[in-house]
Chain A
Amino acid sequence: NAGVTQTPKFQVLKTGQSMTLQCAQDMNHEYMSWYRQDPGMGLRLIHYSVGAGITDQGEVPNGYNVSRSTTEDFPLRLLSAAPSQTSVYFCASTGTGIPGTDTQYFGPGTRLTVL
């Protein structure tokens, strides 16, 4: 049981390039989400998904796309990278059920630098 995995761990992009951050979970969780973490800003929700085929926008969705074709995978696409997207990106998955048991499990993060 690997939990939530993310690849790559580090990435450097040039302005205008596109890339996909990968996220996978093996806990059969329905809810998955992407956050970005910037100094002093905490974690801000980019996009989330309540199940395969269903996605929705979070607090800061501009410049990012997501899709959810399987329960396990939830990739995040940067369409045209900008320096403002330099950040640490975390993927999380949550098991639904009785409140108090719906823990969000976070991946190890991807550190992205856009030059």
Chain B
Amino acid sequence: QKEVEQDPGPLSVPEGAIVSLNCTYSNSAFQYFMWYRQYSRKGPELLMYTYSSGNKEDGRFTAQVDKSSKYISLFIRDSQPSDSATYLCAMRAKAAGNKLTFGGGTRVLVKP
């Protein structure tokens, strides 16, 4: 079983809808949680970064972490066609330095 599980999708939504993405994990030592966005044939870029449990909002993006359930989520409000990409969750333990463990990624398609 993978340490970080993520539904590969694809997730297809109409423009303006809310996109809901999530990851589950098994390692209770993970304390830092990230979401990366990756456009086709490009490198991933950091979208959201949260520490421990709680919510973080940045514009149309909201990241949630529930450490008790080992579950993280990313919500994209008012989705745009430009949000079409693969979204990867990543996480790391405090003692792991900068070593990240990634989920497999969810492909999102926002249709105009």
Contacts and interface: CB of A to CB of B under 8 A. Distances in A.
B51 A31 contact: no
Interface string B1-19: 0001010100000000000
B104 A41 contact: yes
Contact of A96 (B46, B98, B99): B98
A58 interface: yes
A52 to B, nearest CB: 16
Size range of the chain A interface in the assembly:
20 to 34
Q: Looking at chain B's contact residues, is the secondary structure mostly helix, strand, loop, or mixed?
A: loop
Interface in A57-92: 58, 90, 92
B43 A108 contact: yes
Nearest to B94: A99
A50 B97 contact: yes
B66 interface: no
A19 B81 CA distance: 39
A69 to B, nearest CB: 20
A58 B99 contact: yes
Contacts of A107: 43
Interface of B: 4, 6, 8, 32, 41-46, 49, 51, 88, 90, 97-100, 102-105
Interface of A: 4, 31, 33, 35, 40-45, 48, 50, 58, 90, 92, 94, 96, 99-100, 102-104, 106-109
A43 B99 CA distance: 11
Contact of A45 (B44, B100, B103, B105): B100
Contact of B99 (A45, A103, A106, A108): A45
A43 B6 CA distance: 12
A43 to B, nearest CB: 4
A48 B96 CA distance: 12
Contact of A109 (B43, B88, B102): B43
A90 B49 contact: no
B104 A40 contact: yes
Contacts of B49: 100, 103
